[in-house]
Chain A
Amino acid sequence: MVDFHKHLDAAEDAQRDIVIRAIDVKRHYHGSGGVVTKALDGVTLDVFRGEYLSIMGPSGSGKSTLFNMIGGIDSPTEGMVFIDEIDVAQLDSYELAWLRCHKIGYIFQSYNILPVLTAMENVTLPMIFAGNSPTEAREKGMAILETVGLGERAFHRPFELSGGQQQRVAVGRAIANDPVIILADEPTANLDVHTGAEIIELLEKLREERGITIISATHDMKMLDVSSRILWIRDGMVQRLEERKNLNIQIGGLEG
C-alpha cells in the first residue's frame, strides 16, 4: 500500500513543472594542507514550480551550501544546477547578476535592507537594477508595499520600522521583479512567534496568488507546517525528502 502511494507521488511528480534541477551537485572546499571539505557530496534534487520547499539540517550539514547553489550565488565543484532551465555554470558574472535580479528573490535572516533608504526605495532598488524607469518602479513599488501591508509606511526609514515590518520590506523587495523563486534563509529566526507567523502567512499568500516557488531554510515548525515538501540534509547528502502530508507535525499551542 505504501509502495502504491509512492508510485502515485512519482507519477504526479513527473507531470509537474520543474523550476530548479540540481544534478549530482558536489561542492568541495580546499583547506590548508590539502584537506578537502565536502560541503555537498552529490545532491540530486528537483524543485517544482509553485511548491513550498523547506530545507532542514544541522549547521555544517551543507544546508547553506545547497541553498546558495540553488540560489545562483555559489557554483558547484561538480554537477549541474538549472534554474528555470538556465544552466548556472555557463553564466558569466553579468548574466548571473541578471539571473539574480529577475528570477530569484532573496530574503535574509537579518533582513539586510539598506538602512539609509526608505521602504519604497528598498523595494524599488531591484527594479532600478532591472532597468525600469523610476516612475514605473514607484507605481509598482506602491502596489507591492500594499501587498505586504506597508502601504502606509512607504516613506519610512528602516529604523522607524519594527523587525517584522523590516522583514516585510525585505519580502516586498524580493518580489519586486516578479521572481520565479523566493529563497528565504531562516526568515523568521530573528522575529517573535507571532510576527514570524505573519511573515509565513505572507509568503504562503504570495505562493498561492502568484505561483512563486518558495524555498526556505528553517527550523520553524510553523514553516514546516505550510511546506509542500521538506528536505533533510546531513553530511552533504540528502537524508530524507518527504511530502508534508506524509508527516505528522504538531504545532505547540502558543497561539491558543
Chain B
Amino acid sequence: MARNTDIPEQTRVSWPIVFRVSISGLQRRFGRAMITLTGVVLAIAFLCYMLVHEAFIRAMILADLDSLNILLQQNDIDIFSGGQMDPMTYLLIGLTLLTCLVGIINAMLMAVTERIKEIGTLKCLGATDQFIVRAYFVESTVQGVCGAAFGLLLGLLVAVLVTVRTYGGYTFRTFPLPAVLVSLVVSLLAGALLSITAAIIPAYMAARKQPIEALRVEE
C-alpha cells in the first residue's frame, strides 16, 4: 500500500524566498532588531577601536620622531614594547564579544518563540527543516553583518578622534593604512562570525518546531 518511493529527492530551497521571509521577520520586529543590532554595533565598535588605536600607536612609535616620542611617553605609552596590547586588553575584548554573542542568541531565541505559529504554518505549507534553518540563519547573519558594519565605522571614527585629540597632526602623518584596513577586516569578520555562531542554536530550535503548533489557537 505504501508508495513512499514516489517522494522525490530534496528540492532546492530558493534563496530569494529565504531572504524575503527572513528580512520580513526583521522588518516586523524592527525595534527589537535595532536593540540586538546595537549590541553588535557596540561590541564591534569596541573591538575595532582597540585594533585601530593600537595600529596608530604602533605606527607612531615606528616613525621614531623625537617630539612624537616625548608625546607618547607623556601619555604613558611604553615605546620600547612596540605598542603591544597587554593580555588584559585581549581578555576584555573577548569578554565583550562573548556578552554580545549571548545577547544575539537570546534575541534570536525570542524571535523563534514569538514566531512558533509562523514556523508551523510554513511547515504545513511544505517548508523543510532546511528552509527554516536557512531563513533564521540569514536573519541572524544580516543582523550581525549590518551591526558589524556600523560598529566598524563607529570604532574607526572614535579611534581617529581620540588619536587626533592627543597627537594632533601626527595621526595623519604616520597614518598606517594597511594596518587600519586589516583591523577593519578583522572586525567585520569577527562580527560576521559572531552572528553566525549565535544563529546556530536558535535556527535549529526553530527547525525542530512542529507544524502542529500552527493549529493551536493562541490569543
- With a CB–CB cut-off of 8 A, which chain B residues contact A117? 20, 24
Which of these binds chain A: B33-41, B145-153, B167-175, B209-217?
B209-217
Q: Is B166 an interface residue (CB 8 A)?
A: no
* B17 lies within 8 A of A185 (CB): no
- With a CB–CB cut-off of 8 A, which chain A residues contact B125? 100-101, 106, 125-126, 129, 173
- With a CB–CB cut-off of 8 A, which chain B residues contact A86? 2-4, 6
Q: Whole-angstrom distance between the alpha carbons of A177 and B215 in the complex?
A: 20
A residues 82-129 touching B (CB-CB < 8 Å): 82, 85-87, 90-91, 93-95, 97-102, 104, 106, 108-110, 112, 114-117, 121, 125-126, 128-129
User: How far is the CB of B126 from the nearest CB of chain A, in Å?
Assistant: 2
User: How far is the CB of B168 from the nearest CB of chain A, in Å?
Assistant: 51
* B217 lies within 8 A of A129 (CB): no
- With a CB–CB cut-off of 8 A, which chain B residues contact A208? none
B residues 110-128 touching A (CB-CB < 8 Å): 117-118, 121-128
Q: Is B10 an interface residue (CB 8 A)?
A: yes
- Number of contact residues on A: which range applies? 35 or more
A residues 36-55 touching B (CB-CB < 8 Å): none
- With a CB–CB cut-off of 8 A, which chain A residues contact B215? 64, 67-68, 73, 108, 185
* B126 lies within 8 A of A126 (CB): yes
Q: Apart from A90-B2, A97-B128, A129-B126, what are 4 other A-B pairs with CB-CB below 8 Å?
A: A93-B128, A100-B126, A116-B24, A131-B11
User: 30 A-B contacts, Cβ less than 8 Å apart?
Assistant: A68-B212, A73-B212, A74-B210, A82-B1, A85-B1, A86-B2, A87-B1, A90-B4, A93-B129, A95-B4, A95-B7, A97-B123, A97-B129, A98-B7, A98-B8, A98-B126, A99-B7, A100-B123, A100-B125, A100-B211, A101-B125, A106-B214, A108-B121, A114-B121, A125-B17, A126-B125, A128-B14, A128-B17, A129-B131, A173-B125
